[in-house]
Structures are given as C-alpha cells and as structure tokens.
Amino acid sequence: MKKLVLPCVIALITISCSPRQAKTASHPKVDSLMRVMTLEEKIGQTVLFTSDWSVTGPSMRDNYLEDIRAGRCGNLLNAYTADFTREIQRIAVEETRLGIPILFGYDVIHGFRTIFPINLGMSASWDIEAIQESARIAASEAAAAGLHWTYSPMCDISVEPRWGRISEGSGEDPYLGSLIAAAMVRGYQGDDLSADHTLLSCVKHFAAYGAPQAGRDYNTVDMSERWLREFYLPPYKAAVDAGALSVMASFNELDGIPAHANAHLMNEILREEWGFQGFVVSDYTGIMEMIHHGYAEDLADAGRLSINAGVDMDMMSSSYMDHMKELVESGKVSMETLDNAVRRILNLKAALGLFEDPYRYCNPEREKARTLTPENKAFARSFAAESMVLLKNSGVLPLRKGEVVAVTGPLAQSKDDFLGSWRGAGQVESVPVSIQEAVGEVTPLSAGASKVILVAGEPWHWTGEAASRSSIRLPEEQTQLLKKLKKEGKTVVLVLLNGRPLDLSEESELADAILEAWYPGTMGGYAVADVLFGDVNPSGKLPVTFPRNLGQVPIYYYAKNTGRPYVHPDAKYESRYLDVPNEPLYAFGHGLSYTTFDYSEIMLEGGHSQSGQGVTLSGDGTLKACVTVTNTGACEGTETVQLYIRDLVGSVTRPVKQLKGFERITLAPGESRIVEFTLDKETLSFWRQDMSWGPESGDFQIFIGGASNQVKKASFKYAL
C-alpha cells in the first residue's frame, strides 16, 4: 500500500476534552494525522499485541504481522533486537496507508541484558542514585535493541509475602517506594524521550495490586479510600510527578470495580487530580478479564467500560480491535473518547521521535556496543553487593581470603536463579559465575571444611507473576540440611537467594550468619563473594518486614497502636498472640554491617521553645532534627540513618511510626558525622478526617536510628 505523505504543521497545539477526561494537548503531527485517519485506523492505534518472540501471558493472536500490515495493531510488546524490530517497523511504515510507526514495549524491569538485583533487592540498597543509574543503563541497552517503552516501575506497595510479585516492587513503605519510583522514571526517561538511549516509562499496576486477599495473585483487593491514598497511591503519584507518561491498569478489583473499568482511579485520581497527560494501557488481557470478574457481559461490554473509564490501549484482549467500531457507531463510546485515547498514544509516539525517524532505536552496531559492557557489569556487581542485607552475624563474617571453606546447598551452583523473574533479555550464559565458582576464585574450597557457605532459598520461578505461595518457609530439605551441618559441628553461613520475606525463625537460630542476597543479577556470584570476604561491607536494609511466621501476616512497621496495645507482659486482653511475640523476626530497616554505629540522642533545632513546653514547630516553619552517628567498629562502613515520626493524636488514628527521611553515610573507623533532617508541615501531613491533606496541631514523636526498631526518640509540638 502507498504511504500517504502528510504535510508538516508547525506549533499548533489543540486542546480537546470530554467532561470526565483531562485536557489532552496534541503534537502538530498528531493533529494532522487525526484529521485523515479512518475509524479503523484510529482503533488500530489503541491495540497492543505480543509478538511470538517472547511471551508474558496467554497468546491470543496468531498473525500479528498481518494485523500490523492491515493497520489493526499499532503497538507491539515482547519484540526486541535491532534487526527484528526494524523489520516489523518497516512493515508498519512502508506497508500501511498512513505509515504510523509501531510502539515497541517490553518488561525491562531490573535490567535488560545486564541484569541488576530484583527490585525488592534494589530497594534494600536505599541508594536512590544507584537505582536511577540502573534504570538509565537498562534504558540504554533496551533502547539500542529497538525498544521504546518499558513496563516499569512497578509501584505496588505490598505487605503480603505470599504474593510472588512482592519481589518486583520496592517493599512495604510508601515514602521509600515513592523515591524509588521517581528515580526509576528519571533513569528510564532521562530528560529527552526522543533520545536513542531513553525509554518511555509505564507506571504499574494502577492501583493497589499489591494487596490481594490471602496473597493469591490476581485476587480481590478491598481497602478504604483513606488507606489507599495514604499507603498505596504515593509511589504511583511520585512516578507520575516525575514525568512518567504511561500507566498500566491492574488486574485486581478495588471496591468492587475492576481497575480496568475504574473511572475513579483513572479519570478522577490519575487525570483530574494528578494532571496525568499520558496514556493508560490495560494489563495483559485485563479488559477481557472483566467478564470473569462478573463486571462485563461480553468482550464488547468490557471494551466499552474500559475506554470510558480511561483505558486508552488494549493489551491482548482484542476487545478494542474487534468491538470498538460497533461501540463508536452505536454511540456507546463517543468519538471524542476514542479520539482522546488515540491522540494520547500518538503524542507519545511523537515525543519518542518516531515520526521523525521510525528506525531511530533499531541500530545493530549500537546494540552491540551498549550491551553488557564492562562498565555496566562493574556497576551491576557493586549495586548487587549494595543490595544485600546481612540479617545475622555471630562474628563468622567476613571470611578471610585463603581460609578453607565449603560451598554447598541446592543453589550453590545455580546461575539461572540469579536473574530472578522478569529478567528482560538477560541470558543465563551471560552470568559469569555461580556462588561456588566465585568463592572458589578467592579461597581454597574443601567439602570437609568446618566453615560452610550454604546457598539456599527459592528457585527463581517461585516469585514473580502467578507465583504465590501458601508457605513462606524455606523448602523443608534445606532446613534439614542446615540442621545436619550444625549437628556435624559446622559453622554455617546461610546465603539466601529469594524474592519475598521468608519465615526464617528456625534458620535464624541455627545459622551463624545469614546474608539475604535476593536474586542479585548478572554479577551476583561475584557480589556475594565480595560481601562474604569483606571486599564490600554490607549496607543493605530491609525494605520489608520479615515475620516470625505466616500467622503474623500482614505485618508492617507503620501499624496502628489499637485500643489495647500490648504493653503488659502477662496481659490477656491486649492485642497480642498467645504463641509468638508481636514483633517481627527482622524489622523494616534492619541490616547489619561488619562495623557498628553509635547514635547520639536527637537534638532539635529551630522551631521555638517555651519553658516547660518543649520545642514547637509552627505553621510553615521548619525544625531540624540532628543526630551524631559514629563508626565504633574497626572498618569503614555505610549506614542508612532513618527518620520516623509519630503523630500522637489525630482526627484519624495515626501509625506508630512513619518513615519521613533517610540518609546514607559512609564513615571511617572512629569517624563521626552529624546527620540533619528538616521537618516541615508537609512531613506531618496526612489525609485528615475530612479527606483534606494537611497537618494537625498537637504532639509528635520523632525517631532516628539504623532500623525501625532501633531508634533514639525525641518529642515536639506542632501548632498550625
């Protein structure tokens, strides 16, 4: 078919809006296209199919190339490499009437070719700059392989360890999660979407997908609007505020309405409140699934509900492709609603520079030059080491180079498990060494050694999508192996590869040291050895609570106090368990080092003091909270100093602690540093009883320390 050449219109921005949808500004090229597109061509731009290259869900279309050629499909996921995408792009550009380029999307989640630790591990680094850098590298590798769009960051807060996808997120905390979400967006998108090394970021899964009942993937989510706004929405919003221009709807329902038809979420919160200007894509067959939810009568009905609720693009349901025409012609979907969706999608194609050069991202030389470079691997190694959390150490770590150790356990020789789920285009062949090999490079190995490194955990496919577990214990044979080694009198260092908080109650009693290594990525073997032998002093801190057992779940540090807090050891009618303490095994923010840090008492500066009243922060003022942190051990170490607050009385009850700041500092032995945090009314704000956002006057506590349960405490007042 002949390509229609369109006149280039300059600098004309049109605004269109329907009552429920935010204004959508158009790129001039998009306006000119919109004027000549047929209804079918418009619908084609709202359709997203998978290629047969890589599959991330059930495949429903055999001949996606025919769909592209016919203008029925304007977007493709799971196709990559410069050569493959170039050929598909050629079909779209040369063989369709309007030559509109394809948008290529992929799950670049924790690296593309060079794989970094899984996202839960990244979060454990609390190193926002490193997280951003990992996204930048991922984008540069992926963009050179023909990709334009990544389905990341995953912003789903979760306190549900049974849920396999907890591994893909940043853990339980909205503050940490927000900083990470924004950093990832900045890393992917850079400051120029049209550059050949950046990707369009897609914020997912909107919203509250991380709270499925009973931890079963895709299961029902129900929570109050207040809880949603306070604990679940902030990371999505932070990502949107950081400039993310696409959002993916989530599989779950919320308040009885599937997210894919939830106009409150997409049109009201996302577009009207947050001013989001990009497009919303469905999750994989998410539109069709509303039939199973019992919310849509059939596929046509599902499409009607979705697009009217603000979902612009249909991933894999074929609902828009097969039914949008009849929906528009019958008036069930207005032309304006469809136009808005199409315009939003085309605007992003324009912003990516695809109309200027549809092949900009398909360059085999660049692909080769940018992939798995020594710099990328060096970064992956140091980042992986930074993500690891030393949960326990009775003094056995660090090991001495040259000493004789044994390396054993079901995952000791594995490379595959390092990559975790959503490994992008990471290949096991590109993982240089297993833990056994890496340790073997630094020290003599002997099966009979008295010190044993036991590499255990979960095989990688036990986490990720559709990988919920009803138990969060290690497989029984692993615990038995640990018991056997201890019976034989061995000193055991337990190295864990896993992607969820585990119940380690038994293992924590038995093992002499426990290193949580997550799934550490391409350079994971070396990174584990770096930490075990002290080349890297561990500094990771848990971004999620590790319970004593599943019965404590959900357990998170920002709990409410309740009307009967457990304070008296033998009390019966207080909020407690009969069989385990209320406290978790390892608290949020916990993580040991090979050195130790001492914290001074908290000094408050600023605000004003009234005799006998303590310090008061007023109105728009600021208050400084300072501690002196000293490295009291024998080696250099990095500490993440954490700030929490508590609002003692509120118009709605407040959590016993909320993270409001942190700083990573590196101190030489004996060195001290003053760490200073600034508090203002924003730090104290929350969704008040009338659902307005702001602070309330009253008493506050402030906590600073190296873990949520290891803190110094001070008090102040706030006066509006």
Which residues belong to the active site?
283
Torsion of Cα atoms, 273 then 198 then 154 then 218, to 10°: 100
Contact between 148 and ligand BGC by CB under 6 A: the answer reads no
Q: Measured from the CB atom, is 246 or 371 closer to ligand BGC?
A: 246
Cα(52)–Cα(633) distance, rounded to whole angstroms?
55
**What's the farthest any 2 CA atoms get from each other in the chain?**
84
Contact between 57 and ligand BGC by CB under 6 A: the answer reads yes
Cα(710)–Cα(596) distance, rounded to whole angstroms?
13
CB-count exposure of residue 581 (10 Å: 0-12, 13-18, 19+): exposed
Among 283, 301, 339, 647, binds ligand BGC (CB under 6 A): 283
Contact between 606 and ligand BGC by CB under 6 A: the answer reads no
Determine the residue with CB nearest ligand BGC.
56
Q: Measured from the CB atom, is 201 or 537 closer to ligand BGC?
A: 201
Q: Measured from the CB atom, is 127 or 314 closer to ligand BGC?
A: 314
DSSP line for 357-409: -TTTTB-HHHHHHHTT-HHHHHHHHHHHHHH-EEEEESS-PSPPTT--EEEES
Contact between 186 and ligand BGC by CB under 6 A: the answer reads no
| Shortest Cβ 317–ligand BGC spacing (Å) | 12
Contact between 284 and ligand BGC by CB under 6 A: the answer reads yes
Cα(74)–Cα(71) distance, rounded to whole angstroms?
7
| Shortest Cβ 121–ligand BGC spacing (Å) | 18
Q: What token pair was written down for 624?
A: 């400084």
Contact between 156 and ligand BGC by CB under 6 A: the answer reads no
Contact between 160 and ligand BGC by CB under 6 A: the answer reads no
Q: Measured from the CB atom, is 154 or 485 closer to ligand BGC?
A: 154
Contact between 314 and ligand BGC by CB under 6 A: the answer reads no
DSSP line for 618-686: ETT--EEEEEEEEE-SSS-EEEEEEEEEEESS-SS--BS-EEEEEEEEEE-TT-EEEEEEEE-HHHH-E
| Shortest Cβ 154–ligand BGC spacing (Å) | 7
Q: Measured from the CB atom, is 168 or 516 closer to ligand BGC?
A: 168
- Report whether 98 contacts 33 (CB < 8 A): yes
| Shortest Cβ 128–ligand BGC spacing (Å) | 23
Contact between 516 and ligand BGC by CB under 6 A: the answer reads no
- Report whether 108 contacts 153 (CB < 8 A): no
Contact between 110 and ligand BGC by CB under 6 A: the answer reads no
Which of 520, 518, 506, 588 lies closest to 548, judged by CA? 506
Cα(259)–Cα(263) distance, rounded to whole angstroms?
8
Tokens 């046509």 — which residue?
A: 300
Contact between 53 and ligand BGC by CB under 6 A: the answer reads no
| Shortest Cβ 151–ligand BGC spacing (Å) | 3
| Span 196-235, contacts to ligand BGC by CB under 6 A | 204
| Shortest Cβ 23–ligand BGC spacing (Å) | 28
- Report whether 343 contacts 24 (CB < 8 A): yes
| Shortest Cβ 367–ligand BGC spacing (Å) | 21
| Shortest Cβ 418–ligand BGC spacing (Å) | 21
| Shortest Cβ 164–ligand BGC spacing (Å) | 11
| Span 375-404, contacts to ligand BGC by CB under 6 A | none
91-126 residues labelled b (16+ CB within 10 A) or e (exposed) = ebbebbebbbbbbbbbbbbbbbbbbbbbbbbbbbbb
Cα(519)–Cα(172) distance, rounded to whole angstroms?
18
Q: Measured from the CB atom, is 24 or 123 closer to ligand BGC?
A: 123
Coil, strand or helix at 306: helix
| Shortest Cβ 209–ligand BGC spacing (Å) | 8
Q: What token pair was written down for 438?
A: 């890496």
Number of residues that bind ligand BGC (CB under 6 A): 9
Contact between 56 and ligand BGC by CB under 6 A: the answer reads yes
- Report whether 298 contacts 274 (CB < 8 A): no
Cα(99)–Cα(94) distance, rounded to whole angstroms?
6
Cα(527)–Cα(584) distance, rounded to whole angstroms?
28
Q: Measured from the CB atom, is 251 or 599 closer to ligand BGC?
A: 251
Q: Measured from the CB atom, is 79 or 384 closer to ligand BGC?
A: 79
Contact between 465 and ligand BGC by CB under 6 A: the answer reads yes
Q: Measured from the CB atom, is 56 or 710 closer to ligand BGC?
A: 56
Tokens 């055999």 — which residue?
A: 62
Q: Measured from the CB atom, is 109 or 269 closer to ligand BGC?
A: 109
Q: Measured from the CB atom, is 52 or 583 closer to ligand BGC?
A: 52
Among 107, 156, 173, 367, binds ligand BGC (CB under 6 A): 107
166-205 residues labelled b (16+ CB within 10 A) or e (exposed) = bbbbbbbbbbbbbbbbbbbbbbbbbeebebbbbbbbbbbb
Contact between 80 and ligand BGC by CB under 6 A: the answer reads no
- Report whether 514 contacts 396 (CB < 8 A): no
Coil, strand or helix at 560: strand
Cα(527)–Cα(124) distance, rounded to whole angstroms?
15
- Long-range CB pairs of 395-398 (<8 Å, 24+ gap) are 395/512, 396/451, 396/491, 396/493, 396/512, 396/513, 397/493, 397/513, 397/515, 397/532, 397/534, 397/594, 398/531, 398/532, 398/533, 398/534, 398/594
| Shortest Cβ 464–ligand BGC spacing (Å) | 9
Q: Are strands 608-610 and 614-618 parallel, antiparallel or unpaired?
A: antiparallel
Q: Which residues bind ligand BGC (CB under 6 A)?
A: 56-57, 77, 107, 151, 204, 283-284, 465
